[in-house]
Amino acid sequence: MPRRRAVLSAAGTALATALAGCPSSSTTPTAESTDAGGEAVGAADRAADSNSTGATTPSPTPVDGASGVENDSAYTEVYRDTIDSVVLIRNPNGSQGTGWLFDDGVVVTNAHVVGTADHVRVGFSEDETQVSEVLGRDNMSDLAAVRVEDAPDYADPLSLTASEPVIGTNVAVIGTPYGLRGSLSSGVVSGRNRLIPNPRANFVLPNAIQTDAPVNPGNSGGPLVNLDGTVLGVVNSGRGDNIAFAISPAMVRRVIPALVEDGTYDHPYLGARVGRVTAAVAEANDLDSERGLLVRRVAPGSPADGTLEEPVSATRVDGFRIPTGSDVILAVDGTGVSTRQAYLSKLFLDTSPGETVAIDIVRDGAEQTVSVTLGTFPDQ
């Protein structure tokens, strides 16, 4: 492994409250955003979809009693092993963010970092810079691919994890917060399978990784790595004290190769807005259990239109207005979906436009299966 540069001092303590890649990005997510199935998701419901657990970070770095010099910590080692593969990205509009070498000649970053630019300036750790072509961007997943024609010999592609990270895994965020190149912050994986809003595309991303590592403007597009230097996700946003998110490795593996090959990526589209079956929903719809997802709306002209049924009326339970008469989705191609996270994960990460999927539903009190051919998600 080539000699790595020493750890630079950290700076900046305020967490971004929105997309963290560009200094000018400060839009707070709206109360509702629309998922890939055509569903509007409220902030309170998003928070309730999955649980999170914190964990302690490693013990303080031991000190050599004889010399008084600190021994290298695990974070020092991961910094040395990855920093040469992490780049500063400058947009012609004056904003900046972070990226990392994904493959020979391909840098991964956020779509909101490159914006609408055709070319960006890419800077490596030893101040080597070059103007590079933006191969493609996908605003819905907030991912972009940049072609680096002449990456320095010391920059090696980083490995992307093949499995979901475990809650409590020690992690580091490496990037350029507030333009401070070569900065590292540390924490743990504090949650998995999050739904995070992308207000720029009126879209919700499934399977996001949550961390308590500090993320600031300029960190977006950078790698969230474990202490082996393996990338666990692409830093996307900070939402407040001790909460930040990274795009899942599964999404990266699906989107980036398509951006490199074609410059675009098509997301599957069903067009059914859904909500959890709570006790009140089950009571109002005479369901025998709190399972599945209630179809709340079917987008006109969508693949679900004419196949899935939306509410025809409503009633009140404990003072709350509950829609009635619609289908309840139990499974998609044999995978049970009891939460929006599971529903969106199945659609986005296991299906493609043009594919016909079997949807198990409850309609008028009886279970049945219907088939729907997925379309391409409308332009955002």
Q: Which of 162-166, 172-176, 248-252 has the lowest mean pLDDT?
A: 162-166
Give pTM, 2 decimals.
Answer: 0.81
Q: What are the tens digits of pLDDT across the range 186-195?
A: 999 999 999 9
Are 338 and 325 in contact, with CB atoms under 8 Å apart?
no
Nearest of 160, 181, 184 to residue 171 by alpha carbon: 184
Distances (CA, A) of 109 to 99, 243, 259: 5, 20, 12
Q: Percent of the chain having pLDDT more than 70?
A: 80
pLDDT at 238: 80
Average pLDDT of the residues in 257-280 = 96
Residue reference for tokens 């991961």: 78
Amino acid at 277: V
Domain range list for the chain = 32-262, 268-376
Residue 240: strand, helix, or coil? strand
Is residue 236 within 8 Å of 142, Cβ to Cβ? yes
Q: Which fold has domain 32-262?
A: Thrombin, subunit H (2.40.10)
Separation CA 88–CA 128 (nearest Å) = 10
pLDDT at 8: 33
Other Cβ atoms less than 10 A from the Cβ of 159: the count is 12
- Angle between helix 340-350 and 249-262 (nearest 10): 30
Query: What is the predicted pLDDT for the residue at 239?
Result: 75
pLDDT above 50 for 85: yes
Domain made up of 268-376: CATH architecture: Roll (2.30)
Q: What is the mean pLDDT of residues 1-21?
A: 38
In terms of DSSP H, where are the helices of the chain? Answer: 43-48, 74-82, 111-114, 249-262, 279-284, 340-350
Active site residues: 112, 142, 220
